[in-house]
Every structure is written in structure tokens, then in C-alpha cells.
Amino acid sequence: MYRGDDILKIFDSELNPIGTATREEVHTKGILHQVAHVWMLQKTKDDLFIFFQKRSMSRDLFPGKYDLIQTTHFDPEESYEDGIIHSMAYYSGYHPKKEDIIHLGSCRQHIDEGDYHDNALVQVFAIRISKALFIMPDTEDIIKTRYEDFCRFVHGDLEKITIYTLDDSPLCETSRDQWWIRGEEFTEIVEPYIEYNN
């Protein structure tokens, strides 16, 4: 699942489907394709948290950095929701329902790092949960932050941010160089949604 030889749907500059290519070819040649980014939110009695995961040290981009709880490519005939459900179940042991997956909008992502080229139309989603239920063996790599702290962190008002365990215990302070923040996506799409709906 999700290997370099996975087949992905590809698009032209007008977002018209033009066929398929392998995941390796997509990222070697910078071919436009679609991905989903999932922002997972948990509202408690007193606070609002956002979940993140620590990226594997073997990843091509930003190894070991704190990042979104889930990013997902799609099979050519797979819906966004089905792709998210399958990916989250596979990687985190969490099984969202389709009705819990909220589409917030889209943005473009361009990354060029050496021979790696990511030219993606990002579909941005939110999932709201009441309890942190993960069964993956490396749950210490899943953490959460207070929403208000993360806002200030993204906007540059905080230099460090406290991360919490899944049971709400403070874990440590982290600095900007430990994160893949995705600030533009957050400020333009996610933050307005939360401010309007929280």
C-alpha cells in the first residue's frame, strides 16, 4: 500500500484528467496529481486540540518532523473519502466514517527538493473526534497541540509550542525546526473553518 509503483491519476494545468502514472514517476517528473490532507481536531470540555504525527526518518521530505495526522494519495477510481478511510485505518488504526470527513477546500503544493518534485492539488479535510483512539504500535509518534497555541506558532507569535500526549499530559516544548508547519494551508483554509465553526 502506498509504494513507489502505486498508480495515480494525473492532470494537465487546467485540472483535466490526462491518464495515470506511477507514484515514483509523478514525484520524479513533477506531474500534477491530487492528494488529501487531514487535519484532525478534538474538542474537550475546556480546549480544542489538533493532532499531528512525527514523520518517519526514512521519508523523502522533512524526515522526523511533526506533520499532519494523515496525507493521502488516491487510487485512480477512489473517492477522497474512501482514500482517507483506507489510509487512516492502515496507518493509524483509526476508522473514520464518511460523514465525519469534512471537505474544507483546496490549495496547490509545489515542492522541489533535489530529484523529488511534488506538484499537487491538495484537497483539505477536517475530522472532528471526541476521543483519541489509535491502535498503531507507535502511538508515541502521535501527539496533539492546543489550537490557540498552534495559531500563535504559525503566525510567529510563539517561538516554541508545547506538545501533549494522547491523554492530555504535556510532553515537551518543540521549536520551529522540528515541524513541517504548512502555514499557508492552515491560515487560508483550516483556521477560517475552525474560527467559524468552533
- Domain of 66? 7-197
Largest interatomic CA distance in the chain: 49
User: Does residue 176 fall inside a structural domain?
Assistant: yes
Q: What pTM was estimated for this model as a whole?
A: 0.92
- pLDDT at position 120, please? 95
User: Does residue 135 fall inside a structural domain?
Assistant: yes
- By DSSP bridging, strand 33-43 and strand 116-129 are parallel
CA distance 186 to 135: 27
- pLDDT at position 140, please? 58
CATH number, position 140: 3.90.79.10
Per-residue pLDDT of the chain (198 residues; tens, 9 = 90+): 345 578 999 999 898 999 999 999 999 999 999 999 999 999 988 899 999 999 988 887 888 999 999 999 888 888 999 999 998 888 777 888 999 999 999 999 999 988 999 999 999 999 998 877 665 555 558 899 999 999 999 999 999 999 999 888 999 999 999 999 999 999 999 999 999 997
Cβ partners under 8 Å of residue 44, min gap 6:
168
User: Does residue 2 fall inside a structural domain?
Assistant: no
- pLDDT at position 144, please? 94
User: Does residue 118 fall inside a structural domain?
Assistant: yes
User: Does residue 185 fall inside a structural domain?
Assistant: yes
CA distance 144 to 164: 5
User: Does residue 151 fall inside a structural domain?
Assistant: yes
Number of domains in the chain: 1
- pLDDT at position 5, please? 73
Among residues 107, 124, 121, 111, the alpha carbon closest in space to that of 30 is found at 111
- pLDDT at position 105, please? 97
